[in-house]
């Protein structure tokens, strides 16, 4: 837990600092006193949807590595400029990792661990790891996955190797802010939690999410971001469960009126869903898939929506007063697609600027994202 000085101690520190600054000849401000330190700067946060390596994705990464190992970096290169320029970038790692060539796609995924380094090289700082596939290979799969993310320097939230890890807050630094990342899933496809490890993956529970958010504040979080693996697959519109939970979570406040959550990031539906400002807090109901093979919907039809998604980009500004809320002062979405033929993630706005015939797909994603009135609250389409 991050300790904070008491008011008395803080006053002593500030007085000593001011005296030292005067003695050191710090340039005076307009009143003749030492100039005030620069104000805390804001930060940008970028988040993206499901990384879901089907067998065809694994094969593509094997080919991109010259058939010696697996290289997912070329696959992600098209979106790297957006991700790497953010102060904080979060992905959703839907699957667990296998080992020694034992890699599988749907229905029980075991992905090559090389994807962790590719995420790091693309610019991701952390990933949510709570999904309906988190227990596809039991506790062993969780261990392999988190070990690989650790080696790559990618932080993670949503699954754990030990009870202590499950109880710790994932804090990431972004500009002058400490950002807590929490993650939960609606289910684990019927796989039971490992014996004696009820903490292995976080399941969605409204009371627990609020309690965890408040614990994150006590641990020093200035901003609390919650990733939720939820919703109805192949449904463009958020379902009633999503709408109700989003409303209740964003309405939750501490005694001083500060919201407990600052941003909700949704995954799982495999299609882009709307963004919406709910009770003053931005909610992304579903970012769609970032990486996935050719998808078949519940009607048994190949569905190109499974290879469409968005990146959310949110600019947070520091509070006007101590203890206040870091506010989102700019909200954007970037439409993206996965080109099955090329095996590449594509920024659709950039592709359109280069003359690619993707306007219909880009516009469909835009219309879905704005379908709940987010444009009236300032959401814009970014590059």
What's the pLDDT score for residue 346?
Answer: 97
Q: What stretches of 27-176 adopt beta strand conformation (E)?
A: 43-51, 88-93, 126-128, 155-157, 170-174
What's the pLDDT score for residue 379?
Answer: 98
Gap between the Cα atoms of 201 and 198, Å rounded: 7
What integer is the mean pLDDT of 36-58? Answer: 87
What's the pLDDT score for residue 39?
Answer: 57
- What six digits make up the tokens of 312? 């959310």
CB 312 within 8 A of CB 46: yes
Question: pLDDT at residue 381 above 50?
Answer: yes
CB 239 within 8 A of CB 202: no
Gap between the Cα atoms of 86 and 101, Å rounded: 34
What's the pLDDT score for residue 191?
Answer: 97
CB 335 within 8 A of CB 365: yes
Residue 137: pLDDT band with limits 50, 70, 90? very high
Of 325, 235, 356, nearest to 288 (Cα)? 235
Question: pLDDT at residue 13 above 90?
Answer: no
- What six digits make up the tokens of 261? 């959550």
Right CATH for 38-381 from 3.20.20.140, 3.30.360.10, 3.90.1150.10, 3.60.21.10: 3.60.21.10
pLDDT tens digits along 278-335: 999 999 999 999 999 999 999 999 999 999 999 999 999 999 888 899 999 999 999 9
Question: pLDDT at residue 243 above 50?
Answer: yes
Gap between the Cα atoms of 196 and 219, Å rounded: 27
Query: Tokens 């499950």 label which residue?
Result: 166
Question: pLDDT at residue 106 above 50?
Answer: yes
Gap between the Cα atoms of 275 and 253, Å rounded: 21
Q: Across the chain, what does the average pLDDT equal?
A: 91
**Which conformational region is residue 236 in: left (phi greater than 0), alpha (psi within -120 to 50 degrees), or beta?**
alpha
Residue 336: pLDDT band with limits 50, 70, 90? very high
Question: pLDDT at residue 12 above 50?
Answer: no
Bond before 107 cis per omega within 30 degrees: yes
What is the pTM for the complete model shown?
A: 0.90
What integer is the mean pLDDT of 80-89? Answer: 98
Provide Rg for the chain, Cα atoms: 22
- What six digits make up the tokens of 324? 């206040």
What's the pLDDT score for residue 15?
Answer: 33
CB 51 within 8 A of CB 94: yes
Give the residue with greater pLDDT, 24 vs 311: 311
What integer is the mean pLDDT of 106-117? Answer: 98
* Domain regions of the chain by residue span: 38-381
Question: pLDDT at residue 11 above 50?
Answer: no
**Dihedrals φ, ψ of 274, to 5°?**
-70, 155
């Amino acid at each position: 837990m991050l300790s904070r000085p008491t008011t008395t101690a803080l006053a002593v520190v500030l007085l000593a600092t001011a005296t030292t600054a005067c003695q050191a000849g710090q340039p005076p401000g307009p009143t003749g006193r030492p100039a005030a330190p620069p104000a805390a700067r804001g930060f940008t946060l970028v988040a993206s949807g499901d990384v879901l390596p089907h067998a065809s994705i694994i094969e593509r990464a094997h080919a991109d590595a010259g058939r010696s190992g697996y290289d997912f970096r070329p696959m992600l290169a098209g979106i790297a400029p957006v991700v790497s320029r953010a102060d904080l970038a979060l992905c959703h790692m839907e699957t667990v990792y296998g080992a020694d060539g034992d890699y599988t796609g749907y229905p029980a995924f075991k992905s090559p661990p090389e994807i962790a380094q590719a995420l790091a090289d693309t610019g991701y700082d952390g990933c949510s790891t709570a999904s309906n596939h988190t227990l596809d290979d039991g506790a062993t799969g969780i261990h392999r996955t988190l070990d690989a993310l650790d080696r790559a320097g990618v932080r993670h939230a949503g699954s754990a190797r030990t009870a202590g890890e499950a109880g710790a807050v994932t804090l990431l630094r972004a500009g002058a802010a400490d950002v807590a990342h929490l993650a939960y899933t609606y289910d684990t496809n019927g796989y039971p939690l490992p014996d004696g490890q009820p903490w292995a993956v976080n399941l969605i529970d409204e009371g627990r999410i609020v309690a965890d958010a408040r614990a994150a504040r006590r641990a020093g979080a200035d901003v609390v971001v919650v990733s939720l693996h939820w919703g109805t697959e192949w449904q463009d519109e958020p379902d009633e469960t999503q709408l109700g939970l989003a409303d209740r979570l964003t309405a939750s406040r501490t005694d001083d009126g500060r919201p407990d959550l600052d941003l909700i990031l949704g995954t799982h539906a495999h299609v882009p869903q709307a963004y919406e400002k709910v009770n003053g807090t931005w909610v992304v109901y579903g970012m769609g898939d970032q990486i996935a093979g050719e998808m078949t919907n519940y009607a048994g039809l190949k569905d190109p929506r499974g290879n469409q998604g968005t990146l959310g980009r949110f600019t947070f500004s520091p509070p006007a007063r101590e203890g206040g809320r870091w506010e989102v002062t700019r909200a954007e979405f970037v439409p993206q697609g996965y080109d099955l033929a090329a095996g590449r993630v594509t920024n659709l706005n950039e592709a359109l600027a280069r003359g690619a015939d993707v306007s219909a797909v880009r516009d469909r994603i835009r219309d879905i994202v704005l379908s709940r009135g987010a444009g009236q609250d300032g959401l814009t389409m970014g590059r």
